[in-house]
Structure 1
C-alpha cells in the first residue's frame, strides 16, 4: 500500500487593508443611474399607454 504524503496548509495572514468607503461622487453617480433607469421605464410605460389610446 502506498503512503500518502501529508501537505501542510498554512493560513494566510490577514491583510489590514481598509475597506474603501463610498464617497459622495459614488453616491451621486448611483442616484443618477437609478434616476435614468426609472425615468426610462416610466417613459416607456407612458408611450405604450398613450400609444394604445391613440389607436383605439
Structure 2
C-alpha cells in the first residue's frame, strides 16, 4: 500500500491577514454594503413589529 502524504495548511489568523494587506476600496464598499443590509433588515423588522401591533 502506498503511504499518503498529508500536507498541513496553516490557517492564517485574522490579525495576520489584516496586517498583510491594506484594506482597499473594494473591501470598504463590501463592508459598507454589509452594514447597510444589516441596518435595513433591523429597521424593517422594527417597522413590521411596530405597525403590526396596531
Query: What TM-score range do you get, normalising by the shorter chain?
Result: 0.5 to 0.7
Unaligned segments of structure 1, at least 5 residues: 1-17
Which structure has the highest helix share of the two? 2
TM-score by length of 2: 0.63
5+ long unaligned stretches in structure 2: 1-18
1:19 Cα deviation (Å)? 2.9
Flag as ranges the 4+ runs of structure 1 deviating above 4 A: none
User: Which of these two proteins has the greater Rg computed from alpha carbons?
Assistant: 1
Q: TM-score, normalised by structure 1?
A: 0.61
Query: What's the RMSD between the two structures over aligned residues?
Result: 1.2
